[in-house]
Amino acid sequence: MRAIAVARDGSQVSVPALSVEVVEPVGAGDSFAAGFLHGLAHGEDMRTCLRRGHAGAAATLTVRADLAVLPPAAIAALLACDERDWAHAHIGPEGIHVGGKGFPPPQESGHA
């Protein structure tokens, strides 16, 4: 799966979804939208907005609650990694792996 954003000038950016161990699908779409819109509101480029959306959705997929929070260091690593590391990154209830580094798993943050 990939997310695609189209800019006003017609240019397109596409980012593949992360590898995720799904626990519960509820809330993933809302989390993607929240991450994408957060990046957009803060002036991030479309690639970063899409990555931020994927990261939020992936985190939510790994918990039973409707929302999840990624550790800030994991977010930074996901947003900064190259395409190869992004393609091999994995998020699951046991932890987050990106660029050869491990991070604690997403934490449940309640219900929307």
Write out pLDDT tens, residues 55-81.
999 999 999 988 899 999 999 999 999
- For 72, residues 6+ apart whose C-beta sits below 8 A from its C-beta are none
Q: Which residues of 20-36 are buried (b: 16+ CB within 10 A; e: fewer)?
A: beeeeeebbeebbebbb
Longest Cα–Cα distance of the chain, Å, equals 41
The whole-model pTM stands at 0.92
SS3 112: coil
Quick one: pLDDT at residue 66? 85
Q: What is the mean pLDDT of the chain?
A: 94
For the record, the structure tokens of 9 come out as 């000038």
The DSSP H or E segment spanning 15 is: strand 12-16
Give me the residues of the chain with pLDDT under 70, please: 110-112
Quick one: pLDDT at residue 110? 65
Quick one: pLDDT at residue 16? 96
